[in-house]
Amino acid sequence: MSDSMVRRWVRKFNDGRSDAHDEERSGRPSLVTEELVHAIDDKIHENRRFTISALAMEFPQISRSLMHEIVTEKLKFRKLCSRWVPKILTEQHKTKRMGSALQFLTRYAESGEEFLTQIVTGDETWVSYDTPESKRQSMEWRHTSSPAKVKPKQILTPRKMMCTVFWDWKGILLINFLPRGQTIRADAYCETLRKLRRAIQNKRRGLLSKGVVFLHDNARPHTANVTKNLLQGFGWDVFDHPPYSPDLAPSDFHLFLHLKSFLGGQHFNNDDELKETVSNWLKTQAANFYEEAARMNGLVVISNETFKPIPAQCCRENLWLSVPGSGYGSSH
């Protein structure tokens, strides 16, 4: 407030005025009426992609800046982008997810934790000579005036290997690497499964006779006839995995998530270095790493409470099932 304004108010108070608020003044009425605000709200609901400029053209009696104020301050709108998701699930997909979750719950209700300790799960993932840091890993303390660092979202390199990992609630059962650049095929996968059976026989005495509950996703090599015939010959109980459901594959949303975080920012010169580092990390996790992961992500649970959201989510949600601690969230 300026000195002249202060003096003016002092004179008014000396003259007997006690009210500090401005008095009603005649003049041009406000353009922002309740009817106008409701009309703008209705227009936005007709087309939520309206720009402020386009809205201002629809209501020429007010300026663009006033339109922005009405939309953001009075109506509390914020313009948000859609969230990218891997796949929009159909009703058939969601029904199948529901069925798989209920099947799992039914088996658990019948056999309890005995059933859960029979589960063996696994999957494949690419491991690269150069893995970029995650956005969080690249965070640094900087002043607001400091130039922002840039980092590539993805490093394009042909130097990568396919790593297959099988594990259960006790830990790693088998780690298998394919030659650099080679992808998994049904015949190679079957050979890996034979190695897995021998590993279970050596590391989990009694599990083969008790019965293996095998959990893997529905990638083509996993669902090929030769693979199905081999697993049937093993006598393993293969759990049905619904399509487009990486959130129901523990290796995807837990094990590989932590592995890629560990590899972030590292560089390897040859295949042996990469294999040794990945294998050592998988084998040297704390004793409770796999058990804790299994409990958190649905392989080993203490009560049905852990599983109650699963069928409801499968039915209600349009996209991905939310699993606590997984890094994956459900989307609408």
* 177, 50: one domain: no
Write the CATH number for 234: 3.30.420.10
Tens-level pLDDT at each residue, the chain (332 residues): 677 778 887 888 787 777 766 665 555 567 788 899 999 999 999 999 999 999 999 999 999 999 999 999 999 999 998 888 778 889 999 899 888 888 888 888 888 888 888 999 999 999 998 887 777 777 777 777 778 777 666 655 568 999 999 999 899 999 999 998 788 999 999 999 999 999 999 999 999 999 999 999 999 999 999 999 999 999 999 988 888 887 778 888 889 989 998 998 888 999 999 999 999 999 999 878 887 766 655 554 433 344 444 433 333 343 333 333 333 333 33
Looking only at Cα atoms, what is the longest distance across the chain?
104
* 108, 234: one domain: yes
* 170, 63: one domain: no
* 37, 167: one domain: no
Last-in-domain residue among 80, 114, 145: 80
Residue 25 included in any domain: no
Other beta carbons within 10 Å of 329: 13
pTM of the model: 0.68
Helices (H), 112-237: 113-116, 186-203, 207-210, 220-223, 225-234
* 109, 250: one domain: yes
* 191, 100: one domain: yes
CA–CA gap between residue 127 and residue 63 (Å, rounded): 56
Using only C-alpha atoms, the chain has a radius of gyration, in whole angstroms, of 30
Residue 205 included in any domain: yes
Residue-range definition of the domain harbouring residue 39: 32-80
Give how many domains the chain has, as a whole number: 2
* 225, 107: one domain: yes
CA angle 115, 222, 277 (to 5 degrees): 85
* 110, 235: one domain: yes
What is the structure's pLDDT at 312? Answer: 37
* 261, 167: one domain: yes
CA–CA gap between residue 58 and residue 112 (Å, rounded): 63
Query: Cα 154 vs. chain centroid, distance in angstroms?
Result: 18
Among 296, 298, 122, 293, which Cα is nearest to 214's? 122
Residue 153 included in any domain: no
* 293, 268: one domain: yes
What is the structure's pLDDT at 247? Answer: 76
81 neighbors 161 (Cβ within 8 angstroms)? no
What is the structure's pLDDT at 152? Answer: 65
Residue 1 included in any domain: no
* 162, 69: one domain: no
